[in-house]
Structure 1
Amino acid sequence: MIEVLNIEKSFGDNHVLKGISAQFEPGVTNLIIGGSGSGKTTLLKCMVGLHQPEKGKVLYNERNFTEMSMQERIPIRQEIGMLFQNSALFDSMTVEQNLMFPLDMFTNLKRSEKRKRANEVLERVNLEGKNKLFPAELSGGMKKRVGIARAIVMNPKYLFCDEPNSGLDPKTSLVIDGLIKEITEEYQITTVVVTHDMNSVMEIGQKILFLHQGQKWWEGSNKEITKTDNQELNDFVFASPLMEKLLK
C-alpha cells in the first residue's frame, strides 16, 4: 500500500498541491483524475520522488520515502515500475534490449536469465516474437504494451501509469486498460494511474481520487462516480461525450 499524508507542493507562487492525503491499495486500479492544472501529475511525481514536497509524507508500506536520502530510496525505486505517457522506449534498442535494460542496471542475472524474463513479460502482454523489432516498427498500442512489459520486468510491487491511453484510438485504449487491470489483480500490485480518459475511469476505476484546484475533492469508485452530488466532479465527468452518450 502507498499512503500520502498532507502533501503540499508549490512552484514559486503557484500552490499546486494543498494538503493531499490518500491511500492507494494493492490489487486494485487506483486512478487519479482531474482537470488540467488540478495537480494530478504533480502528485504522481511527488510519489515517485521526481518532486520533493514542501510538507507531508509518502509512505510505501509504512516506509517514509519522503525523508529518505537518494541512496536510501534505491531499494524502493527498484520496487517501482513506471509506464510513461509516451512509453519512453529507447529508439536505438530493440524491444528485447529495452526490456532487458532495467535487468542490466539493477540485477546480476545471467544473460540467458534476462532473455528468459524478457520473453515472459512479452508473452504476458501478447507480443511474443517481437523481440528484434525496433520501436519505429511498432504501432502506438504495441509501444504501450512494450512499455507495460518493461514496467513489470522487475516484478514491481508498485506500478505508476501516466496517461497510458494518450494518443491511442478507443479500441486500443480498451486493450491497454484491460491489461493494466489484469496485471494489477494477477500480481497484486499497487497500481496508480493518472488519466483524464473517462472511458478508463468507467472501465477500470476501482478506486478514484478526484483533484480540484490542488485539493482532494472526492474519492470513490466508478460505480459511485455518476451518483455523486459533488458539483465540480459532475462538471468534470459530464463534460465527456462518452458520459453524455451513456446517460441518454
Structure 2
Amino acid sequence: MIEIKDIHKSFGENEVLKGISGKFEAGVTNLIIGGSGSGKTTLLKCMIGLHQPEQGSVEYDGREFTQLNFEQRIEIRKEIGMLFQGSALFDSMTVEENVMFPLNMFTEQSNSEKLDRVNFCLDRVNLEGKNKLFPAELSGGMKKRVGIARAIAMNPKYLFCDEPNSGLDPKTSIVIDELIKELTEEYNTTTIVVTHDMNSVMGIGDYIIFLHEGKKFWEGSNKEIAKTDIEELNDFVFASRFMKAAKGKF
C-alpha cells in the first residue's frame, strides 16, 4: 500500500498541489485522473521522489519516503517499476538490453539469470522471441509492452504508469489496460496509473482519485463515477468522451 498525506507542491508562486491525500491498495488498479494542469503528473513525481513536496508525506507500506535521504531512498526505488509516457526506451539498445537495464543496475545476478528474467518478462507481455529487435522496429503498442516488461523486470511491489495509452489506438489501448490490470492482480502489485483516458477509467479503475486545480475533488470506483453529482467531475467525464467521439474513436 502507498499512502499520501496532505501533499503540497508549488513552483514559484504557482501552487500546483493543494493538500492531496489518498490510499492506494495492493492488488487493485489505482488511477489518478484529471484534465491538463490538474496536478496529476506532479503528484506522481512527488510520490517517486522526482519532486520534493513542501508539505505532507508519502508512505510505502509504512515507510516514510519523503523524509529519507538519497541513499536511503534507493532501497525503496528498487521495489518500484515505472512505465514512462512514450515508453522511454533506449533507441541504441535492443529489446533484450532495454529490459535487462534495471537488472544490470540493481542486481548481482549472473548473465544467464538476467537473461532468464528478461525472457520471462517478454513472454509475460506476449513478446517472446523479440529480444534482438530495436525500438525503431516496433509498433507503438509493442514499445509499450517492452516498457512494461522493463518495469516488471525487478518484480516490483509498486508499479507506476504515466499515460500508458498515450498515442495508441483504442484497440491497442485496451490490450495495454488489460495487461496492466492482469499483472496487478497476479502479483498483488500496488499499481498507480496517471491518465485522462476515460476508456481506462471505465475499464480498469478499481480506485480513482480525480484532481481539479490541484485539489482532490472526488474518489471512488469506476462503478461509482457515473453516479456522482460533482459538476467538475461530470464536466471532465463528458468532455473526455465528447473529444473522443469527435475524433471518431467511439
Task: Bin the TM-score by the shorter chain.
Answer: over 0.9
Q: Deviations over 1:174-209 (max 9, x none)?
A: 000000000000000000000000000000000000
Q: How does 1:120-159 map to 2 (within 5 A)?
A: 120-159=120-159
Offset, 1:243: 9.7
Structure 1 stretches of 4+ with a deviation exceeding 2 A read 240-245
- 2-structure distance, mates of 1:33, 1:103: 31
Offset, 1:239: 1.1
Amino acid at match of 1:130: K
- 2-structure distance, mates of 1:134, 1:118: 15
Residue 28 (structure 1) aligned with residue 28 (structure 2): yes
Indicate the residue corresponding to 1:38 in structure 2: 38
Normalised to the residue count of structure 1, the TM-score between the two structures is 0.97
- 2-structure distance, mates of 1:168, 1:182: 19
Offset, 1:241: 2.8
Q: What are the ranges of 5 or more consecutive residues in structure 1 without an aligned counterpart?
A: none
Indicate the residue corresponding to 2:236 in structure 1: 236
- 2-structure distance, mates of 1:218, 1:116: 43
Offset, 1:38: 0.5
SS at match of 1:193: strand
Q: How does 1:123-202 map to 2 (within 5 A)?
A: 123-202=123-202
Offset, 1:240: 2.5
Residue 12 (structure 1) aligned with residue 16 (structure 2): no
C-alpha RMSD over aligned residues: 1.1
Normalised to the residue count of structure 2, the TM-score between the two structures is 0.96
Offset, 1:242: 6.3
Q: Deviations over 1:15-51 (max 9, x none)?
A: 0000101000100000000011110000000000000
Are the structure 2 counterparts of residues 244 and 122 from structure 1 closer, same or farther at C-alpha, using a change threshold of 3 Å? Answer: closer
- 1-structure distance, mates of 2:241, 2:192: 25
Identity of aligned residues (%): 76
Amino acid at match of 2:146: V
Matched residues, number: 245
Assess if the C-alpha contact under 8 Å between 2:198 and 2:241 holds in 1.
Answer: no
